[in-house]
Structure 1
Amino acid sequence: MSLQVTVLLRGILVIGLLVCLTVQVLAAGGLLFGDGTAPLTAKVVLAVAAVLGLACVEVAIVSVWRLVSLVRQNTVFSPAAFRWVDAIIGAIVGAAFFVLLAGYVVAEVDDAPGLILVTAVLSLLIAGVALIVYVQRMLLVQATGFSAELEAVI
């Protein structure tokens, strides 16, 4: 991976992380202390779901940063990469759960049963991304095995 691509990707990751942190603070404050007729428990659950959902995005961003570091060091085909890919998969699954939870709470408060269906479909799509990353993890496992075999031959 060229230096320009690495710098560009890391810049995007830093911007994404800063945006997530800002939205976490604003969303939590707005949901808890903003004007609204929702019950306090719903506000708290929504605030927690928003903060933890964005924390999942932050975990994925940090994990991608570490994977880019492994690529730059030419050590991406090592067992250390699996830990970061597993963290990304876990973060995506967590985000899918918090989207579903937030949709459920909003649907119950606003009496919008169709919203539960919409968030369930959105959560399934997000979980589908986790499955795609899992398939890529399996490809990384194979590539790591091929890399080890090639080193043994040389």
Structure 2
Amino acid sequence: METKPAITDQTSPLDAQLCFALYSTSLAMNKLYRKILRKLGITYSQYLVLLILWEQDELTVTDIGDRLFLDSATLTPLLKRMEVQELIKRERSANDERQVIISLTKTGSAMKKQGLELPEAVLAASECTNRQAVEMSARLVGLRSSLNRNV
């Protein structure tokens, strides 16, 4: 049987909120990534875009937005900054001018080795085992799916 943390009279209303636990954990995670990514000269959002492109290069803005749960109005300024940093190229699709294809530059591709080493540092900082992290991630993905179905 799964045990749940008891909410007592001493538990503050803020600390009893799942949303606050997720929010404050997200802040801590972003702070950790900011520290780790500083040496690469990229932000957490840029790292996420690079992760997607390292998996599959030459994707549309829509494809990237779908993976990151971001709309193009939010994603486009980020991609423009990445293009200025020469991490990616943005080109109109030859088949459909409404689509913009995002591809890695040599600089963006060269960061892959360092970028793919970051999860180890994050796992160490989390003080979780790999199994605990995988299980937690799966539960969070399930929670995200449930919330998205009910929005």
Q: Given the two structures, how large is their TM-score scaled by the length of structure 1?
A: 0.27
Higher relative contact order (CA 8 A, sep 6+): 1
Q: Which structure features the higher share of strand residues?
A: 2
Q: Which structure features the higher share of helix residues?
A: 1
